[in-house]
Amino acid sequence: MAVFPIKLLVGLGLCVAVVGCGDRTPGEKALPRVFVQTVVPSEYAASVTLTGDVQARVQADLSFRVGGKIIERKVDIGDRVSARQVLARLDPRDLQTQVDSAEAQVAAEQARVKQSAAAFVRQQKLLPKGYTSQSEYDTAQAQLRSSQSALSAAQAQLANAREQLSYTALIAEAPGLITARQAEVGQVVQATEPIFSLARDGERDAVFNIYESLLREPPSDPAITISLLDDPTIQTTGKVREITPAVSAQTGTVQVKVSLKDLPEGMRLGSVVSATARSAGKTAVELPWSALTKNLSDPAVWLVDGEGRAQLHTVTVGRYLTGKVVISDGLQGGEKVVTAGGQLLHPGVRVEIAGNTSEKSTPGAQP
């Protein structure tokens, strides 16, 4: 009889517990907290610092016009040369033999011309008197003309042989500086094979190899300041003179030549220089790296709309900088961009803006 009341009391206790649990309301789910930045467009001008070197406007490879063995080299790298200066010589013996042979041929042809001329003169005197025939006269005249032509050909060959002999001396056609040497004494070289590289005196360029993407927009100031890398206080100005139309297959860059107005003391041929160019200013938005995400394969940012909901918005990145990105298109100004806390967001989710309780995504909600 005592067991029944105990079971009854236990059952009543469970019912009370169940009723009490039914009266409790579950706590509301916490909203994701995010940090936002209000978009403020500003004028942005990208600056690019490049490193290059000073080169001669005109650079030429010097070579012999005939082949042979080098027997003398009179200059070396770094030497300054003047116009018509002899830089190197080839062994002239083979070409001298050709000159001697051509001279002998000329002498032989001159003797034939003299003999043919004498025979023709005799025929000329005998023909009016009837002591010779017209055919003999014509033959003598033809022989004279043939020997004269042979003499002219021999003289041309002699002139050519002498000219070839003169090519055994490598001569600088203009003053300048020797910047490279590709052959040594005792080496047998072919005609047109480079022996020296000559940087001619005159105008100088600063030459830079840059990526093609940096040339999308021209600099705002056409005058570019060139500074000596070792001593930035040594400066000069220049303007872009030439841009190589083709991209180098080895480096993926294009070559830009900046014509220098003048070279200050300390800046000379071969000096390493730097240049800073700024592109034309345009309206853009700077955001921290953490604000950037992806919409499939396109760059995007999370925006918080007027109802406090997160929306994924596609943007165009104009430039990547250290710690921040420059948004060139997609943001007008005044938008609230999520800069932190966007890892777990999805479109339409309500968010809570950290650090600003007045901008929570549930306006009018009970605290």
Q: Are 180 and 197 in contact, with CB atoms under 8 Å apart? A: yes
What's the whole-model pTM score?
A: 0.58
SS3 assignment, position 310? strand
Half-sphere exposure of 340 (CA within 13 A, CB side): 4
Compute the chain's Rg from CA coordinates. Answer: 46
What is the pLDDT at residue 85? 96
What is the pLDDT at residue 273? 94
Report, as an integer, the average pLDDT of 112-123.
Answer: 94
Quick one: angle between helices 134-166 and 93-126, nearest 10?
A: 160
Centroid of chain to Cα 78: 26
Scan for tokens 């033959």, then name that residue: 139
What is the pLDDT at residue 263? 86
What is the pLDDT at residue 30? 77
Separation between Cα atoms, residue 277 and residue 240, nearest integer Å: 11
Is pLDDT of 154 > 60? yes
Asked which of 76-80, 147-151, 155-159, 236-240 is least confident by mean pLDDT, the reply is 236-240
Separation between Cα atoms, residue 119 and residue 143, nearest integer Å: 9
Is pLDDT of 102 > 70? yes
User: What tens digit of pLDDT does each residue of 24-66 get?
Assistant: 445 456 788 888 888 888 766 666 778 999 999 999 999 999 9
User: What tens digit of pLDDT does each residue of 270-303 get?
Assistant: 899 998 766 655 777 888 888 888 888 888 898 8
What is the pLDDT at residue 61? 94
Asked which of 87-91, 194-198, 355-359 is least confident by mean pLDDT, the reply is 355-359
User: What tens digit of pLDDT does each residue of 4-35 get?
Assistant: 444 443 444 444 444 444 444 454 567 888 88
Strand 33-38, strand 352-353: pairing: parallel
Separation between Cα atoms, residue 277 and residue 46, nearest integer Å: 8
